[in-house]
Structure 1
């Protein structure tokens, strides 16, 4: 057991634990190169420019009955599921009561697989005591395959004297309409009778489900190969990725894979296509070293990515994009909060 733990090439027993760099270098060297090439080019690209007036979105997820010590202020607070550990009414209500005490103008919440009571299919797995009572969502917006439209009034930013003489026009100019869609379903990661909102991995539970003009998409699962322990296999959903590509929301917030916490930007271009195609390539022999399709994906990412980078940095052009946020607060599988709260201006 000790020797296995010390071996940098050993495979984690839990799919939600990361492989070491040495293990990935041994098991998937070409995909490791592809992954880092794509993310280096993405890192070098400019940040998407927020619409004016901008709206500050504060993103959290996977609090698992814990309360983060410091949640930054903002216009909208989003919790992307796994409010609790046991999924009981009492634990869910405690998280609701904490969330409504925060000063954010609007608070949006979806369920996670640990929020057992919220899925009628898994509710019977709770004891009678855990199911006792009712939930009071108060001012929270709970989204379960539901769309929400919010009008956000931002602080006036104009210094134009004419605006001061026409306060009504100034107020209109500092309002934004934001359309949010939330859905909790995830690829199966545990017993169907206990973990909420699961579907068999590989099944398409997403196509044509998200409204086309969605500004912010909130899901519990990540899209595959994005902030989801992408190597060697990825814990997100490939069908969700295709749905995000179709809709192209400004912001996509999720959680579920604690070790994937962070923020990135997806540019919907040929470099991204090559990245996804490469990571989806199966190579059972020689760890992909002799797979020409995999190497061709690396070449395409470098070539297409460099062209897009030059177009961005030299000519100021930007491809369609989506900001992705894995907002998990839980630090890995430690049972303790530790990841920073993600804040995005859109």
Structure 2
């Protein structure tokens, strides 16, 4: 995203709230009361569902994004470390290299990185905006896998439970398994700043995603969120609707992103009727007396609750788990404060 402290940031007028700042709930209750109900009904019901069962043995994924030149002293252990972009503030080679050097100093077996809109040098279209000394030379990626519209297949050796403990036996050591993980990374985002300075932007509303992600992708890494998921969904959402459709088509096990700092956290999207109703309802403009007289909007509120409760019962009573994707907004920056503050997200798949 575009940080308030950057010199090219235009100050917004009081009548034009910053879309990257959360809208106060009282204002939302006035502007879009039915969509607010829809949003909370969906998230309340889905939060009660069981967590997806990871494959055995599980692979631990450590997720971060939007470090903006900062380093973190204590990073949780894991098999794969993923950084979903915005390593830097200005996007110069020295800034990028400093982040790469820090990431390479961490003990994770594999490190995967994509670019964000602040990583200016990595987009040839925005590279000329940097001074000559900021773009002289090249980035030494060392052992980092840098993905820019690229697919990566990794073989991860996973130790069985107890293999690192005091009771380790030779038999357990021989039972170490190798799992294949397919990762796809892409940096493009809907435009949110100067297209000559901020990298990998496309006009908001343009489809930059359809049929771009390989169907066998296990982990998708993007900088932008999908629309209506951990992207400040109300009042309008800062993510991309075309990315959301592509994630639905592919259904990766894990989708890691960042960009919208206030959306940090994780959720599980179950690709079932409750989710369908949620997205359809969120796409409806709250007209007709702020949506209160819109039957289509109310119908989707009803569908979220009815289908959601049915799916919750199927989960809790019969143990059924349908297709799902774990979505992680891994932004480390605490809002637009310029300081890190969000926890690193850790997921077992």
Shared fold by TM > 0.5? yes
2:206 pairs with one of 203, 213, 216: 203
CA contact (8 A) 1:331 1:339 kept: yes
CA contact (8 A) 2:159 2:173 kept: no
Listed one character per residue, the Cα deviations across residues 137-187 of structure 1 (whole Å, up to 9, x for unaligned) are 00000000000000111123389xxx955965x23xx21100000000000
CA contact (8 A) 1:222 1:255 kept: yes
- Does 2:269 correspond to 1:266? yes
**How far apart are the structure 2 equivalents of 1:109 and 1:301?**
36
- Does 2:348 correspond to 1:341? no
CA contact (8 A) 2:228 2:239 kept: yes
Q: 1:12 to 1:73 in 2, by over 3 A?
A: farther
Partner of 1:250: 253
CA contact (8 A) 1:115 1:196 kept: yes
TM-score scaled by structure 2?
Answer: 0.92
What SS does the corresponding residue of 1:252 show, helix, strand or coil?
strand
CA contact (8 A) 1:11 1:23 kept: no
Runs of 5+ consecutive residues of structure 1 not aligned to the other structure: 1-9
TM-score scaled by structure 1?
Answer: 0.93
What SS does the corresponding residue of 1:287 show, helix, strand or coil?
coil
What SS does the corresponding residue of 2:28 show, helix, strand or coil?
helix
Listed one character per residue, the Cα deviations across residues 76-119 of structure 1 (whole Å, up to 9, x for unaligned) are 00000000000000000000000000000000000000000000
**How far apart are the structure 2 equivalents of 1:165 and 1:272?**
45
CA contact (8 A) 2:35 2:286 kept: no
Deviation at 1:69, TM superposition (A): 2.6
2:327 pairs with one of 288, 304, 324: 324
Partner of 1:6: none
In the TM superposition, what are the counterparts of 1:1-346 in structure 2 within 5 Å? Answer: 13-157=17-161, 164=170, 170-171=175-176, 174-346=177-349
Listed one character per residue, the Cα deviations across residues 239-293 of structure 1 (whole Å, up to 9, x for unaligned) are 0000000000000000000000000000000110000000100123311111110
CA RMSD of aligned residues (A): 1.6
CA contact (8 A) 2:287 2:294 kept: no
What SS does the corresponding residue of 2:274 show, helix, strand or coil?
helix
Deviation at 1:12, TM superposition (A): 6.2
Deviation at 1:68, TM superposition (A): 1.9
**How far apart are the structure 1 equivalents of 2:264 and 2:205?**
23
Partner of 2:7: none
Moved more, 314-323 or 282-291: 282-291
CA contact (8 A) 1:53 1:175 kept: no
What SS does the corresponding residue of 2:318 show, helix, strand or coil?
coil
Q: 1:30 to 1:301 in 2, by over 3 A?
A: same
Q: 1:305 to 1:11 in 2, by over 3 A?
A: farther
Q: Paired residues, what number?
A: 332
- Ranges of 4+ aligned residues in structure 1 off by more than 4 Å: 163-168
CA contact (8 A) 1:12 1:18 kept: no
What SS does the corresponding residue of 1:205 show, helix, strand or coil?
coil
Partner of 2:5: none
**How far apart are the structure 1 equivalents of 2:15 and 2:347?**
35
**How far apart are the structure 2 equivalents of 1:227 and 1:135?**
31
